[in-house]
Amino acid sequence: MKSIHIDLGKDSYDIHIENGLLDRAGEYVRNLTKSQTLAVISDTTVDGLYGDRLEQALRKEHYNVRRIVFPAGEKYKCAETLLQLYQELSDAGITRSDYIITFGGGVVGDLGGFAAATFLRGVPFIQIPTTIIAQVDSSVGGKVGIDLPSGKNQAGSFYQPKGVLIDPELLRTLPLRFIHDGMGEVIKYGCIHDEELFALLEALDDETISGHWEDIIGRCCEAKGRIVERDVLDLGERMLLNFGHTIGHAIERCYGYGYYTHGEGVAAGMAMLTGVTEHMGLTEAGTTERLCKVLRRYGLPTDVQASADDLLRYIGNDKKKRGNRMTLIILKAIGQSELLPVMADELPKYIRKGE
Ligand SMILES: NC(=O)c1ccc[n+]([C@@H]2O[C@H](COP(=O)([O-])OP(=O)(O)OC[C@H]3O[C@@H](n4cnc5c(N)ncnc54)[C@H](O)[C@@H]3O)[C@@H](O)[C@H]2O)c1
Ligand SMILES: [Zn+2]
């Protein structure tokens, strides 16, 4: 069992990571709240696989459990689903002294977390993330929200959970494409913050990694937690988490969302940018080769067909651009990252490379 304390003053919380934790979720929730009623928000896939088990675990602690389920998929992370959630929370008689549990991937965490943040001006909530993306990224840091027709994650807020319960065994049912998608972010943490994690990933592969999830997820949460503690509102250091994302987002947009997964876009983005900065002498020699090798090991791309011009077209409206300055995140070496402010007109220098 691994526990990580996220120190955010009155908004502090703990992340617990343990194989089999799902069946003991009731005890952990009981330590956090004396309330009687819990609303568990989930999607159809996760509810179908694990909803009964979670309900049983919670009922052992005599909770009234109300399961609220919406269809799986990013397209349901929208205002219409949010309104339905409000209605169901209201029908269930949820009050501010009850708790909401978000049980699923990043979609459930973001949407359910935003419902928790805004229903009755805020109901406390607990995250039980079930994908790698959710276990290492979206459940930590307090960003919740929904997509709008005008763009992804365009309505949202910062709302910290009261706790995060991670059971790595739930990843056994996650399809390989989503595993690889999440590995894009896992490798990113190794790159920006944790060389030991990176070295561990170099030594494992798709088969052998499953015995190491507790350690790996713990290291990622630790990395994200420490960075978020120093920059809750994403005004400075938290930008390090965007390594690979400027080009990655451009790749996702250029091909249309869904062609490359987010993790695939980030993977190619990290490899391409590091190729450029290594060539410029800003990154230790040999870093790109190490990075590309590990990305390929987990089925991730190190390059895409799109030209520099194609990609630049989709970087123009990236939110990291402020005025005509932007901040790129680059590696000095594996495990060491830094912010590099660049003028927007210098950006073309940093786009491309790759093999
Ligand atoms: N809030 C943040 O800081 C943050 C960070 C990263 C990503 N996100 C958001 O997270 C979302 C992506 O997260 P995601 O990849 O987890 O998407 P997701 O929630 O759509 O999950 C992916 C798919 O896996 C299924 N699934 C979930 N757990 C499973 C399991 N254990 N076994 C089998 N199937 C399972 C889901 O039903 C879904 O079909 C995006 O909306 C993104 O914007 C938010
Ligand atoms: Zn990301």
E-strand spans in 253-335?
321-322, 325-333
Residue 228 counted as an annotated binding residue: no
pLDDT at position 307: 94
Residues 137 and 253 reside in one and the same domain: no
pLDDT at position 355: 63
Per the CB < 8 A criterion, the answer to whether 228 and 4 are in contact is no
Q: What is the pLDDT of residues 106-117, one digit of tens each?
A: 999 999 999 999
Q: What is the mean pLDDT of residues 94-114?
A: 98
Q: Is 246 in the pocket of ligand 1 (CB under 6 A)?
A: no
Q: What is the mean pLDDT of residues 25-34?
A: 96
pLDDT at position 352: 80
- The pLDDT confidence band at residue 323, using thresholds 50, 70 and 90, is low
Q: Which CATH number belongs to the domain containing residue 126 in this structure? A: 3.40.50.1970
Q: Which CATH number belongs to the domain containing residue 320 in this structure? A: 1.20.1090.10
Residues above pLDDT 90, as percent of the chain: 90
Residue 173 to residue 127: CA distance in whole angstroms:
19
**Which range of residues forms the domain containing residue 63?**
2-173
Q: What is the mean pLDDT of residues 173-190?
A: 97
Instruction: State the chain's mean pLDDT as an integer.
Output: 95
Residue 76 to residue 81: CA distance in whole angstroms:
6
Q: Is the pLDDT of residue 319 over 60?
A: no
User: Which atom from ligand 1 is nearest to the alpha carbon of 185?
Assistant: 6
Considering 136, 157, 173, which residue would you say is the last residue of a domain? 173
Ligand 2 centroid, distance to 169 Cα (angstroms): 22
E-strand spans in the chain?
2-6, 13-17, 37-43, 64-70, 99-104, 125-129, 143-148, 151-158, 163-166, 321-322, 325-333, 336-343
Q: Which 3 state secondary structure label does DSSP give 94?
A: coil
Residues above pLDDT 70, as percent of the chain: 97
Residues 271 and 160 reside in one and the same domain: no
Q: Is 302 in the pocket of ligand 1 (CB under 6 A)?
A: no
Q: Is 268 in the pocket of ligand 1 (CB under 6 A)?
A: no
Q: Is the pLDDT of residue 322 over 60?
A: no
Residues 31 and 141 reside in one and the same domain: yes
Q: At what angle do helices 213-230 and 195-203 cross, to 10 degrees?
A: 160
For strands 321-322 and 325-333, give the pairing: antiparallel
- The pLDDT confidence band at residue 167, using thresholds 50, 70 and 90, is very high
